[in-house]
Structure 1
Amino acid sequence: MSDLGARLRARGKRLTSQRERVLAAVGHLGHGTPEEIAEAVAADGGAAVSASTVYRALEALSELGLVGHTHVDHRAPSYHLAEHATHLHVVCRGCGWVGELPLEVADELVARLDDRLGFAADVSHAAVHGLCRTCREATS
């Protein structure tokens, strides 16, 4: 956490107990919406933290590259530790199941977007929506 404090101070921010608790909650959850993170922080035994404080902490930690987020659906983003951003999310529209695959499975798509449009895609923030095997079989 001392490195975190130095990184925050270098950007004119302080290492507050709220930011430490939010970062710990994200690490504990693996993936979590701001609301889920706020619930985890509220349950950690520390002082109460407002939802707006959680959002600001997530923003500060995101600016530092310590947390990232993925838009798994049209609701709130799902936050994770930055070191966890090594996979692509797939989301079933039928049952809501969320799966993970290595980012490399999208290499061909990323290369085609670059070749055709000159677009450098970052798929670590994306989710691919479709139907899982179970839901596909149920609709057949």
Structure 2
Amino acid sequence: MSDTSLAELLRERGLRLTPQRQLILEAVHDLGHSTPEQVHHQVRERAAGVNITTVYRTLELLEELGLVTHTHLSHGSPTYHRVGEHEHVHLVCRSCGTSTGVDPAVVQPVADRLLDTRGFQVDIGHVSFFGLCAECREQS
């Protein structure tokens, strides 16, 4: 997203484009999947005065604007990534903590069945499966 279009989105809500907001959005795009703490670490390399509260508030704002989204890959902080990134389901290893993405078609039959039987529409971009990766299964 260009600085101009981000500025326009913010202006529509009565807000302005600050250097901190721009840096936080850039960090999410650069890091791919990242926690607020990881975003904060990257932003502080360029702007030491940005605090973690600013990062959390800005991530919430960017999500409201439809520019980033989040998922929960552990019991800790949510993981953010940019909107427009190929939608995927997360596979998270409980042993080593690695996270990989798989095509949502893997769970589409379950999502379709939930819609048909319960009227519940699954937000596949927020789906995470926890288990053991192939390497950890081999080691145990």
TM-score class normalised by the smaller sequence: over 0.9
1:105 paired to 2:111: no
Q: Is there any run of 5+ residues in structure 2 with no aligned partner, and where?
A: none
Q: How many residues align?
A: 138
TM-score normalized with structure 2 length: 0.93
| Contact preservation (8 Å) 1:68, 1:85 | no
Measured against aligned partners, the alpha-carbon deviations of 1:103-124 in whole angstroms (never above 9, x if no partner) come to 2221111101111211001020
Change (3 A) 1:57 1:85: farther
How far has the Cα of 1:95 moved from its partner?
Answer: 1.4
TM-score normalized with structure 1 length: 0.93
| Contact preservation (8 Å) 2:89, 2:125 | yes
Measured against aligned partners, the alpha-carbon deviations of 1:18-45 in whole angstroms (never above 9, x if no partner) come to 110000111111111001100000012x
Could you tell me how far apart the structure 2 residues matched to 1:66 and 1:114 are? 27
How far has the Cα of 1:14 moved from its partner?
Answer: 1.5
1:78 paired to 2:105: no
- Match of residue 16 from structure 1: 18
- Match of residue 50 from structure 2: 49
Could you tell me how far apart the structure 1 residues matched to 2:61 and 2:55 are? 10
- Match of residue 37 from structure 1: 39
- 1:7 maps to which of 3, 9, 12: 9
Q: Is there any run of 5+ residues in structure 1 with no aligned partner, and where?
A: none
| Contact preservation (8 Å) 2:7, 2:16 | yes
